Structure 1
Amino acid sequence: MSIWAGREDPEPDSLRWHQVMTPLKRGASTGIALLGFACDAGVARNQGRIGAAEGPRAIRRALAPLAWHRTAPVFDAGDVNCHGNDDLEAAQQRLAERVATLLAASHLPLILGGGHEVAFGSWSGLARHLKAQGEARPRVGIINLDAHFDLRDPGRTASSGTPFAQIAAECHARGWPFRYACLGVSRASNTRALFARARELGVLVREDREFTAQHLDAIVRDLQRFMAHCDHLYLTVDLDVLPAAEAPGVSAPAARGVSLALLEPLLEAVRDSGKLRLADIAELNPGFDIDTRTARAAARLIHQLTLDS
């Protein structure tokens, strides 16, 4: 909790995140629960730039001084740590257990990554919770703001490039519908095989080059139609969806990307849907960040996502 510190203003009603953050304890009232996933084993397996395991701490540090505009409480639930590349699958299961526990207590889990392998652990936790609630065939909408589909065949080795293929396989095995929207995709960074796989799975795809001020309202409407056919929403943001100038501290910086200003309306639509059950932020690599731009962008996204609608 020592990271939650900063300036305190004398004016009334001038709280910041660091002043309202408390450690999560059993029996706490319902609120947002931050949970770190200190892992970059999936990035290493994907031959990316490692260092995302330090992401949760950097995001907390960037969040601490931001102004607080909520009424419900916020808690820090600590970290799930991954101890080396061979511990990835076990770490994802530990994350799933923690997420399911938070959901059972009616919190909104907000997971701080970590590589995008966080997604399989996050979704698995939501799936555990829904099964425990007795939902036989829930329609879980996955909304991924990302330059990459992350639909590569895991084969024998899962990585940060495979989580949504793993989730699709799990949905098939459970008899659940697989509803996936990937927004901000870079055609230059995804093979024809991945685009074909996305078409086969019925993925809602919007490429980075489609994101302009002129077309933004249409993309938001597409997202709203997608959400209308879902019972629950899981939002995941890979920070490499942002342009490299806004997010240099990621495993794979984007040559083009989608600006923060164009992403925020999507977050607001998800937030205001009333269906958001779980969210995570992935791929912050502080070792490659410049002037903490990427960490600040992550904090801004969290701030916007958690504003009272």
Structure 2
Amino acid sequence: MPSDTSLHQDFDRSLWQGRTDPEPDSERWHQKIQPLAEGGTPGCALLGFACDAGVARNQGRVGAADGPAALRRALAPLAWHRQGAAYDAGDVRCEGDAMEVAQQALANRLVPLMGEGHLPIVLGGGHEVAYASWSGLAQHLTANGETAPRVGIVNLDAHFDLRDPQHVRSSGTPFSQIAEDCAQRGWPFRYACLGVSRAANTRALFNRADELGVMVREDRDITAPRLTGIEQDLADFLRDCDHLYLTIDLDVLPAAEAPGVSAPAARGVALALIEPLIESIRDCGKLRLADLAELNPGRDIDGRTARAAARLVHLLTLND
């Protein structure tokens, strides 16, 4: 079995390229990003999860293992508006079908990042990244002595990803696995799934979401006239949480905005409506960890999906 060290790929400067402007105060991400070093000033820490074994198991369109590199390339030329530091912590790579090994390796990498005060932003990778992210956060909170924290999970996604993991663990099962883990730990399971497509989720999945008390808002509910109400619902959810984990499956966006995913959305929720929800989560003071999943560069058109994902990372990091 490969070790965590053998699965890790270090910072790759070649991915961070872009123009350099002569005017003062004109930096871009490629000029400010730093390789992660122990003891650095806390900031946002980008960590890739180069894995789509879960997508393959879920019979989806593979290619998300190339997502972290594509996202970095799209982020590199964006204008720099942060005050705090930003680090690239490299990648965790999955070898073949060894999804569970890669998930544990990612969790193990996340624990020290959070322990040093960084905000990790994981660049996926298939949505199997969610169980890895959760595992790292749970390890971190346990190490800090928390016995029953109220961890809110906000998933912006066209899919619940609540399939039964007893059949096969995949990109379609992470939140069922998290629910099981919460039950074993005696922690409350607090899950909000925003952007769900009724056409893409079976009745069994809606029933499972109801059994687990999931906060559900369908794609057709998230419209401009209803956005204020959705924001209030989200605020109510956030208020009852001690910590927050945000996970963004890029297939929540319409196919025209995000064609490069495993399962493009026929409808989706427009980026202009997703951004205010992300801002509310970012600014609430409880966000501990975020990830973006399902960027598939081989299926992308004109880099649209990578650009949208880069914009979301940029948005997530604007408050520091």
TM-score category (smaller protein): over 0.9
Shift of 1:101: 1.2
C-alpha separation in 2, matches of 1:157 and 1:106: 35
Give the alignment partner of residue 133 of structure 2, picking from 122, 125, 132: 122
Work out which of the residue numbers 268, 275, 300 in structure 1 matches 2:279: 268
1:162 equivalent in alignment to 2:136: no
User: 2: distance between equivalents of 1:68 and 1:181?
Assistant: 31
Please give the secondary structure, in 1, of the residue aligned with 2:15: coil
Aligned-partner Cα distance in 1 for 2:76–2:289 = 21
> Considering only aligned residues, what root-mean-square deviation do their CA atoms show, in Å?
0.6
2:16 is the alignment partner of 1:4: yes
Query: What is the alpha-carbon distance in structure 1 between the residues aligned to residue 48 and residue 108 of structure 2?
Result: 13
Unmatched tracts of structure 1, length 5 or more: none
Residue matched to 1:203: 214
**Distance in structure 2 (CA, Å) of the matches to 1:68 and 1:202:** 40
Q: Secondary structure at the match of 1:205?
A: strand
User: In 2, are the aligned partners of 1:181 and 1:204 still within 8 Å (CA)?
Assistant: yes
Q: Report how far residue 6 of structure 1 moved.
A: 1.0
Q: Select between 41-50 and 22-31 the one with higher mean Cα deviation.
A: 22-31
The answer for the alignment partner of 1:90 in structure 2 is: 101
Instruction: Quote the offset at 1:156 in angstroms.
Output: 4.3
Report the Cα distance in structure 2 between the residues aligned to 1:4 and 1:272, rounded to whole angstroms.
27
2:37 matched to which residue of 1?
25
Letter in 2 for 1:228: R
CA distance in 2, matches of 1:156, 1:188: 23
1:14 aligned residue: 26
Asked if 2 retains the 8 angstrom alpha-carbon contact of 1:69 and 1:308, the reply is no
Indicate the residue corresponding to 1:212 in structure 2. Answer: 223
Q: Does 1:64 align with 2:76?
A: yes
Q: Is the 8 A contact 1:149 1:182 kept in 2?
A: yes
**1:45: which partner in 2?**
57
Aligned to 2:148: 137
Q: Which runs of 4+ in 1 moved over 3 A?
A: none
CA distance in structure 1 between the partners assigned to 2:131 and 2:101 by the alignment: 12
Percent identity over the alignment is 71
In 2, Cα distance between equivalents of 1:183 and 1:107: 26
Partner of 2:90: 78
Residue 237 of structure 1: aligned partner: 248
Aligned equivalents of 2:132 and 2:41: distance in 1? 25
Say which SS state the counterpart of residue 47 (structure 2) adopts.
strand
> What is residue 203 of structure 2 aligned with on the other side?
192
